[in-house]
Every structure is written in structure tokens, then in C-alpha cells.
Amino acid sequence: MSRIRKPFEIASVAAQRFVAHDGWAIASHIALSTLTALFPFLILLAALAGVFGTKSLADEAGVLIFDAWPREVAKPIVAEMHRVLTEQRGGVLTVGAVLALYFSSSGVESLRVGLNRAYGLREARPWWLTRLESIAYVVCGAFAMLAFALLVVLGPLIWRKVINVAPGLEPLSLTVAIGRIGITAFLLLAVLVIAHKFVATGRRSVWAVVPGIAVTLLLWFLAGLGFGYYLDRFSNAYASTYGGLATAMVFLVFLYWLAAMFLFGGEINGTVIAARRVRLQARMQQKQARARGL
């Protein structure tokens, strides 16, 4: 019975910590920062892809980002994203690209603020150093997205040639298509591990951040199903309330809930780590007391 009760106790404490750390306010900050950073990041992605002469990769990488999102949320954003990525722009070293890089890093900074609070830590490094680190994460993320997109673009071409040589493998086409979803899931997992392990100040082992990541992925999956179901039946409510801004508001609300769940996952980890620290201190005190008794 104690094993069943323990996860609920951790979730309850994490929820209290979430409220005490202004989780809802930080979630809105993350959502707005992500919204303002998304298209600058895509512009940077297009500029980098253009340097390597493969501009279509940027479009494919952008689609990868939204593959795991509910169709009702992702469809209008993907349409705008395609328009942004197909516009002609200068090279990667233009002023616009530099500004895009800077504003994209704001999304990472907002995650840092939320995770530092969740783990009960204070950032001691100077602001310019953390900003440079955030910019490095953005650049590495852009290259990673292009690399994954290259695999996705070449994958169907290679598979078609394989089927031409061995037609008996055609029934496995569904498995290959599922591989695209697997790539998206791997991207999500990698981003969460990097965020919890490296973006927040201090250092934690991978095992220390697994509980919060698992909770975040579960909540995101349920949120995707629930939000998609809600929009499928009540999308007119947003259109009648916000008019032409309905798409932006739906996107912002969805980001808000994703950010809140992400922070809650951080609070889960913070709660577990704090509990382990308390247990370790209690054991050390017991050992010291026994040593004094001897």
C-alpha cells in the first residue's frame, strides 16, 4: 500500500512546489518566449540549410517539429511555417539571422528560469555566459534538426529503391512510416534530457531526471489527445471569441499547457532529489550518533 501511496505523495508535493514556485506564471513566460522564438529559429534553420544548398531540408525539419502535435493545432502553423521557409533570404551571416539566433535563444533562457526554480537552484553564472550557452544550444539544435531531416528525406528514396530490388519487403512500408514518428519521439526525449541535465544550473545524472521526463511525456501525450479532441468539437468557440487571431491563440494556449506540464516534470525531479537528500542526511546523522555512542 505504501508503494502505491508514494507516487501520489510525490505528485502532491510536486504540485505544491509548482504553485509555490509560480509555475503558472513561468509557464506563460515559456509559452510566449517559445512562440516568439519559433519562427526566428525556423528562419535560422532555413539560412543554415541554404548554406549547404539543401533548402528543402529546413521545411522537412520544421514538419518534424510538429509531427507529434495534434493535427488541429499543427496544420495552420505548418502552413505558415512553409510560407516563411520558402521565402528568399540572404545568407546565414546577415543581421536578420543574427537577431533570429538571439531571439531563438530566449526560448532556452525561459526554460532555464523555470527549471532552476523547479530544482530549487539559483543561477550563479553571469547573464552573458548563460546567453551564449543558450545560443550554442540553438545552433546545435538547428544542425541536429537538419541531420534528422536529411535522414527523413533520404529514407523514403532509399526504401523505394529497396522495394524495387526486393518487392517482397513492401508490407514493411508501414513500419518504415512509423519510423518517422520514432524519430520525432527521439527528438523530444533528447530535448528533455538535455534541458533537465544541462540547461538548469548544477549537474544531475540521467537517472535523476528520468521520473520527471517520463511524467512530462505521459502528460504531453494525454494533452495532445485531449486538446485535439476538444478542438475537433469546439473549435468554433475560439473562432467566435478571437476571430482572425484564433489560430495564434490556440497555439499559445497549447504551448502554455505543454510548458506547465514540462515544469511539473521538473518539480517531480526536484521533489525526488530533495527527498533523497533528506534521507541521506538522516542516515549520516544516525551514523554520527552511533559513532558518538561508541
Predicted confidence (pLDDT) per residue in 33-50, tens digit: 888 877 777 777 776 666
b/e burial code for range 268-292 (CB count within 10 A of at least 16 → b) = bbbbbbeeeeeeeeeeeeeeeeeee
Q: What is the pLDDT of residues 157-194, one digit of tens each?
A: 566 666 777 766 666 666 656 666 677 778 788 889 99
Please, which residues have CB within 8 angstroms of residue 241's CB and are 6 or more apart in sequence?
249
Confirm if 38 and 110 have CB atoms less than 8 A apart.
no
| pLDDT for the residue numbered 252 | 87
Residue ranges per structural domain of the chain: 2-293
Torsion sign, CA atoms 227, 233, 235, 238: negative
Residues of the chain with pLDDT > 90, as a percent, come to: 23
Position 94 pLDDT exceeds 60: no
Q: From CA 262, how far away is CA 256, in angstroms rounded?
A: 10
Tell me the three state secondary structure of residue 89: coil
Greater model confidence, 76 or 249:
249
> Which backbone phi and psi does 38 adopt, to 5 degrees?
-60, -55
Q: Which residue has the cell 512509423?
A: 178
The set of cell numbers assigned to 142 is 538547428
| Cell output for 134 | 543558450
Q: How far apart are CA 250 and CA 94, in angstroms?
A: 32
Quote the pLDDT of residue 2.
46
Reading the block at residue 35, the C-alpha cell is: 512562440
The residue ranking higher by pLDDT, 85 or 93, is 85
Q: What is the pLDDT of residues 46-65, one digit of tens each?
A: 766 666 656 566 666 666 66
Report the pLDDT value the prediction gives residue 243, as an integer from 0 to 100: 64
Coil vs helix vs strand at 18: helix
Cβ 149 vs Cβ 52: under 8 Å: no
- 203: helix, strand or coil: coil
More confident residue, 272 or 7: 272
In the chain, the N- to C-terminal Cα span, in Å, equals 37
